[in-house]
Structure 1
Amino acid sequence: MALTPRHIQNMSEAASLEPHWGYADRAVPCTNDPGSCAYLDVVYSAHDRGMIYTGIFWLTIGGILFVWALARRIFPARTPSDDLLAAALSKSSPPESQQPPRRPTSTLTRLSRTLTTSFRQHLLPTTPLPLLFGRTTRLQLLILAVLVAYLTLWSFVGITYARWVTPIKGQPASVVNTRTSLGPWADRVGVLAYALTPLSVLLASRENVLSLLTGIPYTSFMFLHRWTGYVILVQSLLHTLGWVLVEAWLYQPQPKVWNAYAAQDYAIWGFVALGLLVILWVCSLQVVVRRLTGYEVFRKVHYVLAMVYIGALIGHWKQLQCFLVPGLVLWGVDRGVRLVRMGLLHYAGWQGGWGFKACEARAKVWRDGELGDVVRLDFEHVQRPWAVGQHFFLCFSEGSVWQSHPFTPLSLPAADAAGRVKHSYVFRAKGGETRKIAEVLVKKEETAGGKAATTPVILQGPYGENMVEDLTQDVNVLCVAGGTGITYVLPVLLRLVREKPNPGRRMELVWAVKRKQDLEWVEPEMEELRRLGAAHGLQIRAFVTAEALAVASKAVKVADEKGRAESDDESGSVQGAPSTGSDTEHRPDVTAVVDDFVGAVAQGPTRVFGSGPPGMVVDLRAAVAKNNSGGKVWRGEERFDVRLVCDDRLEW
C-alpha cells in the first residue's frame, strides 16, 4: 500500500478496503480529520475520472481508425482496372484518338475532391518553424496540436481545485500540512503519460497496424512518434515536479517527510524512469545523432533504453501496467514479424535446397571522394513481386548483420517464367555501413583486376504502399528527382511506358545530378524510357549542376517510336553550365517546373512524384500546394487537383 504513508490512511480502523482501478485501495470509512478526508475524496474521484478519460482517449483513437478503415472499404480509390472494365462494358470501344475517360462528376465526388484539394493547398507546405519541428508539413503539425489540446483538456477536467490545511499528530499547532489539488492533478498527468506509451510504440512500429487500417505508410508516423515521446517527457516532468513540491514543501515537518518519501521503492523507480526518459530525449536530438552516436547506434540504444524505461515504469506504479504491457507486446510482435518475414523471404526463395541463403548482388561503384561513392546493386530473387513505391531494408552481411538500411528498388517489379524478380538499387555511400560496404566492394574490384564485385545481401520487406494503384488513365504524371532520388520515381515511369498509351496524358521526368557521369547510374532504365516513352509523349530533362562544361545538361525529348533523342534548344529546356561556379543558380527551379507542367495540362488531375535532397522536397511541397485550388476544382478545372507523393512516404 504505497499510498498509506502519503495519504495517512488509518488502515487499522478501516471497516473495508475500497478498490480503485489503477490505484491503491482506499480505507473506508475515513477516520482522519475532515480536511484530510475531503482531500482523499478529491484524490480518488480525480483518479477514477482520469481512468475514464484515458478510456475515452483510446476509444477516440479507435473510433477514428474504425471510420477510416470502413471508409476505405466502402469508398475504395479508383484504379486503372476500373477504367478498363468500364471500357469493356461499354457498347462500343472508343477510338484510339479519343481522350481518356473522365472521372465521375457527381456532386459528392466534386465536393470530396474540392475539400482534399483545399487541404493540400493550405496544409501541404512545410511548417513555418523548421528549427523546432523539422521539415514536416503543416498537416502533421495540426495533428500534433489537436493531440496536445485533447490531452490538455483531459489533464484539467474532473478535478476539484481547493486547498486544505490539516493538523499533524505529535506536532505543534503551528506545524501543519497544506494539501492542494496539485497532487491529484500531477497524478492525472502521470496517468495520461502512461496511457500514451503504447501509442508511442505503435507509431514507431515497422509492421504497423495503423498502416494496415489507414493505408498510410509507417514512415509518415515517425514525426508523431517523436513528438508523442516529447509530450510524455513533459508530462513526466510535470508529474514529478508536482509531487516534489508536495512532498518537499507543502507537507511538514521537513526534511523528515521528504527523506521518508524519497526512500520508498516506487519513488526511486519513478526517478529512474524519468532519468531514462531524459536520456532517450537527449540521444534522439539530431545534433547528437549526427556528431556523436550515428543513426545505427542511436537506434540500438533507443530500443534498449525504451524497454528498460517501460520496466522502470512498472516498478514505479505497477497498478497501471495495463498500459505498459501492451507496449512491450507491440514491440515484440513487430520484431518477431520482421524476423519471420525475412526468414520466409530467404528460405522460400532458395532453389535447389533448404536453408537460409543471402542474395548474391552484382555491384558497380562510381568513385566520388567529395560527395561519397555511389553503388549500384543488381540481383535476381525468387519471390512475389512487390508494389511500385515499396522499399526493402538491405543488410550487408560483409559489413554487419546487425544493421540494415531502407532502399527503394529502381527496377520494375515483374517476375519472369521462373518466378525471379530483378532487384536494382542505387545509393550513395556517405558514411557508416554504406561507406564500409562501398570500400569492401572497391577492394574486391581492385583485387579482381577491375571485374565487377559481388556481395551478399539480406532482404527485409517489402514495406510501404502501392503508389500507382490509383493512377488512372486521366492522371498526368510529373516526376522530379535529385541525385539518387531517381530510384524512387523511375519505377513509376517504367510501369507507365509499358502500358497502353493514354492520349491526352502529360508525362515528364526532371532529374538533377551533380556530374555528367552520374547519368550512368541508371543508363539501362533511361534507355528503356527513351525507347518506349515516345508513344506516350514522355519528356525527359536532365540537369548537371556542378560540372564546368560548356553545356552541362540538355533536355532530352523522346522524338519517335524508335527512341531517337533530339536536342530541344528552343524550348527553354537546355540548361547551360554554371558560369559563376554556383551550383544553386543552375539547379532546376522546382516551382517553375511544377507551374509549367500544370499550366500545360489539357485535362485531368496531376500526380507529382518527388525524391531528392530535403531542400528540393520542401520546395516541391510549396509548389504543389500553390497549384492546388479548391474553388477551381469545384468549377470543373481538374488540372488544379495536384497531388504529391514524395520520398518521405507522406502522400497527398
Structure 2
Amino acid sequence: MLSPRHIQDFSIDSELEYHWGYASRQVPCVNDAGSCAYLDAVYHEHDLGMLYTFILWAVICGILFLWVLGRHLFPLTRVTAPSKDQLLEDSRPRQNAFYRLGTSIKAFSRRYLLSESLTSVFGHTTRLQILILAILSGYLTIFTFVGITYKTWVTPVKDTPGVYNTRTGLGPWSDRIGVLAFALTPLSVLLSSRESLLSIITGIHYHHFMFLHRWLGYIIFIQSAFHTLGWTIIEARLYQPQPTVWNEWVAQLYIVWGIVAMILLSFMVAFSTQWGIRLTGYEFFRKSHYVLAMVYIGACWGHWAQLYCWMIASLLVWVFDRGVRLVRTFALHHFNTPNTNSAFGLHAPNARMTVFQRSHDGDVIRLDFEHNHDEWKIGQHFFLCFPALSIWQSHPMTPCSVPGQNPKGQNHTYLIRSRKGMTKQLAQLAHTAHAENKSSPTTPIVLSGPYGHSILSDDFYREDDINVFCVAGGTGVTFVLPVLLALATTTSTTSSPRRGLLEFVWAIRRKEDLKWIEPEITLLRKAAGTMSNFRIRIFVTRGSESSPALATTGPFEPSKETVVVDNAQRPSSLSLSSSSSPSSEMKEKTFTIHEPSSVASLSSGNTEHPPLGTQVTEFVSRTVAGPTRVIASGPLSMIRDLRGAVAACNDPGAVWRGEERFDVQLLHDDRLEY
C-alpha cells in the first residue's frame, strides 16, 4: 500500500521498511524532526502491539496444549491395584496421591468458584467464568496502555505557514486498541461455534463458552468505539487545516469501510442484549447475528487489509462450523435409513405427538419416534427442526430416552413445553390433527447433532460407590431421566448391588404432570422397590387443575395405579396397587409425592420449590463413601441454588484425607446457556 500515510510521501525515491500489519515506512525520514520522532513512536508502538497480540494467542494455544496433555497423558485414575490383603480387608477402591491431589484441587475450585456472583451484571454464571473474563480484561487493559509514548509533538503543516499539527500518543494508542480488537475477532467466533474446536480440545461443552463470547463481543465493541473516537478527535481537531483534513480523510474508502464496520458492530451489540432480543424475538436475533457478523468481518477487511489474517481466521472458523453442521445433518438423515423418495435421499422420521393440555401453564407436547443412527451419549442434546412449520428454525432438545435399547434404531423421546413461537405452533398442529380425528398425530423431524458431552463416564458403571443425586424442575426431567434409567437398568442386570446412593427429586406444578413420563416413572418405581439405596420424591408446588380430567392425545393411557400422596411433608400410609410391585412399606420409603398443605389457587402464582440446599446437604450427609454427583436441570433459579449448595458441600481438606463423598460435582443441563 503506497498511498500517503502519516505525512509520508512515497513518490520520493527512498527505501521502504516493512512492518507487519501496517503501512511500510519510508527510510530515512524526510520530514521535520518532530514528525520523524512521532513516526518513530508510531511504528515502534505498532510493532509492540502486534507482539502483544502474538503473546495473547501464544498463551491461549499454550493453555490448550497443556490441557490436551493433562487430559490424555495424565488423566486422574481413581483406582489403584489393591493387594490381596487389602481386597479381603476392604473392597472399596484405593486412591493414589496423584488422584487425591487432583480431586482436592477440583473441590477447592468448586467451593470458591462454583457459586454465582454479581448476577445483576453478569446474569446466572459462575465465579469461574467471571474470573476468566477478569483475567482476559486485565491482560487487554494492561497491554492497551503499556509501551505507548505519552508525549505531544507540535509540527508545522507543509505549504501552510503558521498552521501546526498536534501529534500525541492518542494516535498509536488508537491503533493499538484497534489491533487488539482485530486479533480478538477469531476468538469471538471460536467461542460461539456449535461445532466447537474448543470443545474437541478441552472436552468442555460449547455452551459454556457463550458467556465469554457475549462479553468478548462487548469488549470488542468498546475497543472499536475508542478506536473510532480517537481517530475522529485526531482528524477532526488535532490535524490542521480544518475542515480540509477531515473532509479528505473521511472520504477515503478504508474510512468508509471502518464506519460501516462500526455501525454493524453497534447493531449486533444492541440486538444481542436482553432488551433487543425481547424487542425482535430470539430467531430474528440469531439469524441477523449470523449475517451481520459475516458482513462485519468483510467490512473490517476493507477497513484495514494489512490485518486480513485475523479476518481469514474468523471466516475459516465460521465456514468450518457451518460445513461440519451440514455434513453431520446430511449423514444423520441419509446413511442407515430406509429407502425414501424424498429430496437427496434424506429420511425425516415422523414423531408421534402426545399433548397434555394445561389451562394456565401452557401445553406440554411429548414426541416419540425411532431413527436409525449411531448411539448418542447420555447428557447430549439434539437440535430439532420441524419442516411442517419452518425449515429455518431449530431448537435444542435433550432426549429423555436411553440410547442403544432398540436393535432396529434409536428411540427418541422429548418433552416440549408450549410457550410461544414455534413451540406454540407445534401444539396447535397437534390439536388440529386431533380435531381431524387422527388418533395418533405425527410430524416430520429433522435432527442435528448430537451436541455436548456424556455426563455418565465409565466410572458410573465401573465404580458402583458413586453417589448420584438427580434433581429436576418441570420438563427439565428429560435431562436426568436417562441417567436414572441407565443406572437402574445397570444395577438390575448385575449380580452385585449398587453401594452408592441414588436419589431423584422432581419439582412439578401439578400432580397431573406425572403423566408426561408415565411409562418411565413406572419403571423407576419398580427399580426403587428393589433397591434399598434408591428413592424417588416428587414435590408438587401448586394445586390440581380445576377440570376433573385433562384431554390428552396420543398413545398413552392414564395410569390405573394409585400414587403415594404426602400432604404433611412425611411418608403417607397410602399404598400402590400393583400385584407385581414390592410391598407397600417399601414403596412408602422409596416413592413419595409431597403436596402443599394448603392447595394454592391457579392464579396465585405460587411457584415454591423444595429447599434444594437442604436436600443436597442432607443427601451428602447420608453418603458413606465414593464421590457425589449432582445432576440437575430446571429453571435458572434452581440451578443458582444448587450451585451455592454444591459449593458449600465441597471440602478439599476432607477429599485430600480420602473422604471422597465431599468431592461434590454439579452436572447441569448445558442448554441453559443457550
TM class, shorter-length: over 0.9
From 604, 626, 643, the equivalent of 2:648 is 626
What is the correspondence of 1:198-597 to structure 2 with a 5 Å cutoff? 198-290=186-278, 292-353=279-340, 355-418=345-408, 420-448=409-437, 451-469=439-457, 470-471=459-460, 472-499=463-490, 500=494, 502-536=497-531, 537-547=533-543, 562-564=581-583, 566=585, 568=588, 574-579=594-599, 586-597=608-619
Residue identity over aligned pairs, in percent, reads: 50
Aligned-partner residue type, residue 311 of structure 2? L
Q: Distance in 1 between matches of 2:122 and 2:2?
A: 40
Does the CA contact (< 8 Å) of 2:502 and 2:534 recur in 1?
yes
Aligned-partner residue type, residue 507 of structure 2? A
From 167, 174, 180, the equivalent of 1:186 is 174
Residues 513 and 571 (structure 1 numbering): CA distance in 2 closer, same or farther, change over 3 Å?
closer
The answer to whether 1:613 aligns with 2:613 is no
Q: Distance in 2 between matches of 1:650 and 1:629?
A: 27
Does the CA contact (< 8 Å) of 1:14 and 1:29 recur in 2?
no
Residues 143-181 of structure 1: per-residue CA shift (max 9 Å, x gap): 0001111112221223322211111123333x2111111
Residues 200 and 399 (structure 1 numbering): CA distance in 2 closer, same or farther, change over 3 Å?
same
Q: Distance in 1 between matches of 2:90 and 2:437?
A: 56
Does the CA contact (< 8 Å) of 2:484 and 2:524 recur in 1?
yes
Does the CA contact (< 8 Å) of 1:121 and 1:628 recur in 2?
yes
Which consecutive residues of structure 2, in runs of 5 or more, have no partner in the other structure? 546-564
The answer to whether 1:119 aligns with 2:109 is yes
Q: Match of 1:642?
A: 664
Residues 163 and 137 (structure 1 numbering): CA distance in 2 closer, same or farther, change over 3 Å?
same
Residues 226 and 585 (structure 1 numbering): CA distance in 2 closer, same or farther, change over 3 Å?
closer
Normalising by structure 1, what TM-score?
Answer: 0.92
Normalising by structure 2, what TM-score?
Answer: 0.89
Per mean C-alpha deviation after superposition, the further-off stretch among 253-262 and 275-284 is: 253-262
Q: Distance in 2 between matches of 1:545 and 1:585?
A: 6
Does the CA contact (< 8 Å) of 2:107 and 2:650 recur in 1?
yes
Does the CA contact (< 8 Å) of 2:356 and 2:364 recur in 1?
yes
Which consecutive residues of structure 1, in runs of 5 or more, have no partner in the other structure? none
Q: Match of 1:159?
A: 148
Residues 302 and 180 (structure 1 numbering): CA distance in 2 closer, same or farther, change over 3 Å?
same
**1:628 Cα deviation from its structure 2 partner:** 0.9
Count of residues in correspondence between the two structures: 636
Residues 616 and 265 (structure 1 numbering): CA distance in 2 closer, same or farther, change over 3 Å?
same
Per mean C-alpha deviation after superposition, the further-off stretch among 559-568 and 205-214 is: 559-568
**1:34 Cα deviation from its structure 2 partner:** 0.4
**1:480 Cα deviation from its structure 2 partner:** 0.6
Q: Secondary structure at the match of 1:160?
A: coil
Q: Distance in 2 between matches of 1:8 and 1:408?
A: 61
Residues 560 and 266 (structure 1 numbering): CA distance in 2 closer, same or farther, change over 3 Å?
farther
Q: Secondary structure at the match of 2:610?
A: coil
Residues 548-573 of structure 1: per-residue CA shift (max 9 Å, x gap): 59956886999999455656499997
Q: Match of 2:561?
A: none
Q: Match of 2:558?
A: none
Q: Distance in 2 between matches of 1:117 and 1:247?
A: 55
The answer to whether 1:65 aligns with 2:68 is no
Residues 502 and 237 (structure 1 numbering): CA distance in 2 closer, same or farther, change over 3 Å?
farther
Per mean C-alpha deviation after superposition, the further-off stretch among 502-511 and 304-313 is: 502-511
Q: Distance in 1 between matches of 2:626 and 2:26?
A: 71
Residues 570-602 of structure 1: per-residue CA shift (max 9 Å, x gap): 999744344565665752111111011011111
Does the CA contact (< 8 Å) of 2:340 and 2:347 recur in 1?
no
Q: Distance in 1 between matches of 2:401 and 2:582?
A: 20
Residues 629 and 564 (structure 1 numbering): CA distance in 2 closer, same or farther, change over 3 Å?
same
Q: Distance in 1 between matches of 2:581 and 2:524?
A: 11
Does the CA contact (< 8 Å) of 1:362 and 1:453 recur in 2?
yes
Per mean C-alpha deviation after superposition, the further-off stretch among 625-634 and 36-45 is: 625-634
The answer to whether 1:101 aligns with 2:97 is no
Aligned-partner residue type, residue 592 of structure 1? T
From 620, 624, 643, the equivalent of 1:602 is 624
Aligned-partner residue type, residue 471 of structure 2? V
Residues 421 and 7 (structure 1 numbering): CA distance in 2 closer, same or farther, change over 3 Å?
same
**1:53 Cα deviation from its structure 2 partner:** 1.4
Residues 264 and 222 (structure 1 numbering): CA distance in 2 closer, same or farther, change over 3 Å?
same
Aligned-partner residue type, residue 168 of structure 1? V
**1:539 Cα deviation from its structure 2 partner:** 0.4
